[in-house]
Amino acid sequence: MVWGGDSTGVYSVRSGYYLLLQGDQALNPDTKLFSCLWAIKCPQKIKIHVWRLIWQFVPTRYCLYSRRIISNPICPLCNLASETVEHAMCECYNASMVWSSLGIFWPIQVNDMPFKEWLSWLFESLPVQKHVLIVTILWSIWHARNKQVHDHTQQSYQQICVFISSYCKELENLLPKLQGNVSNMKQQFWQGPSPNLVKANFDASFSAIEKSTWSGVVIRDFAGEVLGACRRFTPHVSSAFLAEAFAALHAIELLLDLGFDSAIVEGDSLTVIKKLQSKKPDLSILSALIFDIKEKARSMRICRFVFAPRASNRVAHLIAGDSSLESIDRYWVEETPSSAVHAVVSDRQHLNQG
C-alpha cells in the first residue's frame, strides 16, 4: 500500500492532517487570518506567541481559573476585571495606552469581539506594513505583564512603547540584510568535483498537459570541461517527481555508457535526492525507479547523490528545456549543446576565479 498524501509514500499524522486541511481550507474562516500571520516578516517566536493567544493557550488568570488551577481570575495588573486574553492584550490600562500611543485605534463596537475576530479585523483594516507592529505589540505586552507578575519589575506603557519602536526599527534594518543573504545564495555557481571524480548534473522539463518529460544531463570534470551530455524523451509520466527520477536514471545510464565509475550525481529535486541518499526502501510511486537507479549506482566504484540549487544546475536545466532541438533523443561526447555553451563558459570562469 502506498500513501498518496505525501511524496515519501509513508503515512504520518502530519500528512493526514494536511490532506484534510486541503478540503476544508476554502470553507475555513481562519484561513485568511493565519495566512496573514505566518506571512509577517518577524521572528518565529512572535508569530507562535500570537498563534497561542488566538487559541487561548496562554496562562492568563482567567484561563488558569477556568481549569481550576487558581481561585482568583482577576487581572494582577489592574485588579479591575477578569484577566482574559482580550483584557490582557487590549483592555487593561497599560495595554490600551500602548495601542493608542503607537497610533492604532479601533471602533467601540470592536471591543466586544473575541480576540480572534478582533485580530482578523485589525489585519484586514490596517496595511500589511503595520502587521509587524501589531504582533510585536502583542508579544511585548505579554512580556511586560510576565515581568511584573513573576519578577515584580514594573514597566510603564511609555517604556513598552520605546522598546516596541526600537525593536521594529531593528527588524526593519535587519530585513534587507537577510534578503541580501538569500539573494546571494541564489547566485551560487556550479562547483567542480575533486580531480578523481566527474560530476553529472540532471534536470527534467515536465509537461503536465502532455504527461511527458525531457531529461537533460551533463557530465563535467574538475575543470568544468564537458565530457558528455544527453537529452532524452520519456512519455506517460504523471508527475514532476517522476520526471526528475527519470532524469536521475538517465544520468546514471550516461555515466555507465561512457565508462565512468567514480562520480557525483547532482540534481535540484530535493525529494528525489533524499530518496536516493536514503538506505531505507522507498515506498512512494517512485519506488521502482529509485530501486533501479540505486542498483545501477552499485555497479560503480564511487557514486554519491547530492542536492544542488537551481542556479548551480542551470546547464542541465537548459539542455532539458531546449525546444529548438529535434524531437529525438540526442547525445554529445566531449561537446557542449549550443543552448548551454554560455552557461558552461560562465561556470568555468567562476570556477577559475574561485
Query: What are residue 134's phi and psi, to 5 degrees?
Result: -60, -50
**CATH classification code of 198-353:** 3.30.420.10
Q: Which of 68-82, 169-183, 188-202, 282-296 has the lowest mean pLDDT?
A: 169-183
Instruction: Indicate the pLDDT class of residue 350, thresholds 50, 70 and 90.
Output: confident
Q: Look at residue 171 and tell me whether its pLDDT is greater than 70.
A: yes
Pairing mode, strands 226-235 and 212-220: antiparallel
CA distance 198 to 263: 5
Instruction: Indicate the pLDDT class of residue 32, thresholds 50, 70 and 90.
Output: confident
CA distance 218 to 192: 13
Q: Look at residue 152 and tell me whether its pLDDT is greater than 50.
A: yes
Averaged pLDDT, 43-57: 94
Report the half-sphere exposure of 277 (CA within 13 A, side-chain side): 14
Cα-based distances in Å from 21 to 5, 10, 194, 242, 243 = 12, 18, 47, 25, 27
3-state secondary structure of 303: strand
3-state secondary structure of 148: helix
Q: For residue 354, what pLDDT is reported?
A: 62
Amino acid letter at 65? Answer: Y
Please give the full DSSP string across 192-247, using - where no structure is assigned.
---TT-EEEEEEEEEETTTTEEEEEEEEE-TT--EEEEEEEEEES--SHHHHHHHH
- The model's pLDDT over 87-137, given as tens digits with 9 standing for 90+, comes to 999 999 999 999 999 999 988 878 889 999 999 999 999 999 999 999 999
The domains of the chain are located at: 40-186, 198-353
Q: Which of 273, 279, 350 is nearest to 308 (CA)?
A: 273
User: In this structure, how many other beta carbons lie within 10 angstroms of the beta carbon of residue 104?
Assistant: 15
Instruction: Indicate the pLDDT class of residue 182, thresholds 50, 70 and 90.
Output: very low
Q: For residue 177, what pLDDT is reported?
A: 61
Instruction: Indicate the pLDDT class of residue 26, thresholds 50, 70 and 90.
Output: very low
Averaged pLDDT, 164-188: 70
What is the residue-averaged pLDDT of the chain?
Answer: 90
Grid cell in block for residue 318: 537548459
The DSSP code for 133 is H
Query: What are residue 45's phi and psi, to 5 degrees?
Result: -65, -30
Q: Which of 8, 46, 270, 273 is nearest to 138 (CA)?
A: 46
